[in-house]
Copies of this chain bind each other. A is one copy, B any other.
Amino acid sequence: MMDTAGENTRARLVEAAREVFAEHGFQGATVREICRRADANVAAVNYHFGSKHGLLSEALNFNRLKALQSATESSDASPEERLRAFIMDFMLMLLDEDNASRQCQMMARELADPSPALDKIVVEAIAPLHEFLGRLVKEVAARKMMDADVRRCVYSILGQCLFYRNSHPVLQRMNPTLHYDRKEIEAIARHIADFSLPALRAVK
């Protein structure tokens, strides 16, 4: 059994796939481009993963997102502070430009143009995320809320967060100097929390 060369190209393929899928989405990505970046032969994808879809499935990974949720849940800060902290970490994950957390970008891509992998993403990552945020919203509101209202508050928070990622091409065109450095991301996260908390407190 090999380990150095074989496992290396496998790992390199997965990493390159994350890059290319995040940039171009599943449809827009080509296995030739992935193999070029991984410095591997075109046939390598089908040899190691069976198909382009198999590679996508392997490239999807929600560890970072899950870790973020459990970190927030095990905190003993006030519900408001936990929501603030979650939004901050979530935005850092979403907008960090040169880090390795391309999973969120891939997920955002999947939303725009679903492939068969979306079912896996929904069950393993998005549904738990929504439930987690629903619990947090109820804690912050500290009132009896109907499920539909809780859900919509979750949508409002997530919608604000995802906007910066989904609309990035547009925002960049309208404001060419836009750049998501650490300070800017923190300001955005602070705004989203400041915008959302009054609404949650005002829930009737």
Interface residues of A (CB under 8 A from B): 24-25, 27-28, 109, 111-114, 118-119, 122, 126-127, 130, 148-149, 152-153, 155-156, 158-164, 166-167, 169-170, 173-174, 187-188, 191-192, 194-196, 198-199, 201-202
A136 to B161, CA, bound (A): 22
Assembly stoichiometry (copies) = 2
A99 to B192, CA, bound (A): 33
A111 to B149, CA, bound (A): 28
Q: Return chain B residues, CB-CB under 8 Å to A130.
A: 174
Q: Return chain B residues, CB-CB under 8 Å to A202.
A: 194, 198
User: Assuming the A-B contacts A174-B122, A174-B127, are A160 and B156 also in contact, with contact meaning beta carbons closer than 8 angstroms in the complex?
Assistant: yes
Q: Closest approach, in angstroms, between the C-beta of A65 and any C-beta of chain B?
A: 14
